């Protein structure tokens, strides 16, 4: 029983760590809007938003993939 709890806790912790870059990118977009740094008429705002999200999700994907590869060893 303790081994399964440890394994479960470790998977939850790894998933939480892997999701941090994605959450940071989401917060960055929120902060840019809330701080009125980006106005609705900012040039290429949509493209920059998509790029920020892709980078955050990509980094999260690579971190999670690293954890999965390390667990299979």
pLDDT at 56 over 90: yes
Distance of alpha carbon 21 from alpha carbon 4, whole angstroms: 28
Residue 1 has pLDDT above 60, yes or no: no
Residues 6+ apart with CB under 8 A from 21: 55, 56, 57, 59, 60, 63
* Distance separating alpha carbons of residues 23 and 18, to the nearest angstrom: 10
Neighbours of 22 (CB within 10 A): 19
pLDDT, tens only, 19-40: 999 999 999 999 999 988 888 8
pLDDT of residue 6: 79
How far apart are alpha carbons 23 and 43 in whole angstroms?
24
Q: With bands split at pLDDT 50, 70 and 90, how would you rate the model's confidence at 51?
A: very high
């Amino acid at each position: 029983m303790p081994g399964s709890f440890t394994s479960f806790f470790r998977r939850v912790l790894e998933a939480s760590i892997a999701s941090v870059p994605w959450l940071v990118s989401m917060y960055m977009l929120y902060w840019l809007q809330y701080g009125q740094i980006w106005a609705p008429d900012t040039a290429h705002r949509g493209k920059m938003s998509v790029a920020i999200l892709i980078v955050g999700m990509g980094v999260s994907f690579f971190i999670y993939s690293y954890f999965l590869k390390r667990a299979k060893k």
